[in-house]
With several copies, the nearest count.
Chain A
C-alpha cells in the first residue's frame, strides 16, 4: 500500500543533506512553499544550492535561508524581487554565488532533467552575455545556445490538494514551477492545503501525477 502522506513538516524534509540542490517553487509569493522552506531552516542543512525564480522577499522563505547563511549558490532568473534585502546584501558581500538563467530556460532545464534528456538548444539568451562560455550553434539561420539539464536532490512544491498516491492539483497561478520541479528532483516534497481521498481528484484534471511525488504534508491556510 502506497501512502506518501507524512504527519509533519519536520518529517517532510527529513534527511536533507548539506550541499544539496533544492528546487523551490513559486513566482513572486504565489506558490512558494513557505512552510517547507522554514522546515528546512529548522532542519539545519547547510551549503545549499537553491533553484528558484526569485530570491525570496523580506524575512521569509528563501530570504530567511540566505540570511542564516545556509545558501552557497542561487540559480534563478530574477533575484531582485520587491522587498528582497538579504540576497542583495550577501551578493554585494560576495558570500553568495549567482547563476542567472532566463526564466524559460530555467524551467526548460528542469524539465529536461525530469524528462531524461541530455540538454537542448534554445534561441533565448543566445545573443546575450548569458551564453558566454556555452556552446552556440546556428540552427535554422538563428543562434541557439546549448543548455544542460538542471535536476535537484529535493524539490519543495506547494499545491492545493493531494491524495495518498501524491496526485496533485494546484490553485490558479500558484501552479507556476511546481509541476516541472516535481519531475526534476530525486525527492519531491509537497505541501498541500488539503488531503483528499484517492479517487476524489478527476483523472482528467490531475496536474501532477503521483509518480513524480514522494512526500505530501498538509499545511492548512486561511482562505
Chain B
C-alpha cells in the first residue's frame, strides 16, 4: 500500500519552520543537511560544524572549492560574514556545553523516553563508528530527529525501547518523519502533525509504541498530494 508522504525536502522544510530566528544550529550528516537549504529568507540562523566552523554557508560554486573548508560530512562549504574558525576541542565545548540551540540528527531508532540510537546497529560486519553524535545528543539544548518513519523493510523505528545500542538516553525532543511530527514527552509519543490522507490507525500501525494525539493535529500537505 502506498501512503501519502512528504518528500525529504518537505520534511526538512517542516524542521526548518521550528527553528527560531537567531538560533545556533548543528545539522547531522545525511538528511539533516537538507535543513540548511530550506531556511526561510527572513531568518538569520548560524550553522555550526563540529570540525571547527561557526557561520557555515552553502556549498561553494564549482571551481571555488577549498578542501580545507568542509562540513562534518566532508563536503565543501563556505563561510558567511561573521563566521569564525576554531579548533576541535573548542568546537566540542560548544556542542557538549549547551551552547548549540538546536541539533537535527538522523536516527536508527527513538524510544518513547526520548532515547536515541543513531550510531550502531546490530550488524557485526561493519566496524563501529561514532563521530560526534554522542556529544551533540547530550549537549544541544534541543535535539530534533529527522528520519523515515520505518526501516526500508517496514519495521518501526519509534519504539518502547531501542533495541540498537544507545547514543544517549532521554534526549530527543521532537521527531520529524515523512508521515508525522511527533513530540517526546513525559507521556511518550504525542503526534502534533500528520500527513494529509493518513489515518491515525495507519500511523499507529507503523509505530512501535503507543501514540497519543495533540488536541489539534496539524495537517501536512505533500506537494504531490
Contacts and interface: CB of A to CB of B under 8 A. Distances in A.
Interface in A115-157: 115-117, 122-130, 142-143
Contact of B92 (A100, A107, A142, A163): A107
Contacts of A122: 96
A110 B88 CA distance: 11
Nearest to B165: A129
Given A1-B44, A165-B82, A128 B93 contact: no
A210 B82 contact: yes
A212 B94 CA distance: 8
Contacts of B52: 27, 173, 175-176
Interface string A166-182: 01001111111111100
What is the interface residue range for chain B against chain A?
35 or more
Interface string A189-223: 00000000011010110110111100000000000
A102 interface: yes
Of listed A29, A102, A167, residue having the most chain B CB within 10 A: A102
Given A79-B127, A80-B127, A116 B68 contact: no
A98 interface: yes
What is the interface residue range for chain A against chain B?
35 or more
Interface string A32-66: 00000000000000000000000000000000000
A206 B83 CA distance: 9
Given A80-B127, A102-B132, A127-B168, A29 B46 contact: no
Interface of B: 21-22, 24, 44, 46, 48-55, 66-70, 74, 79, 81-89, 92-100, 115, 119-120, 126-135, 138-139, 165-169
9 contacts: A2-B21, A29-B67, A88-B127, A91-B127, A103-B132, A104-B134, A110-B89, A172-B68, A180-B88
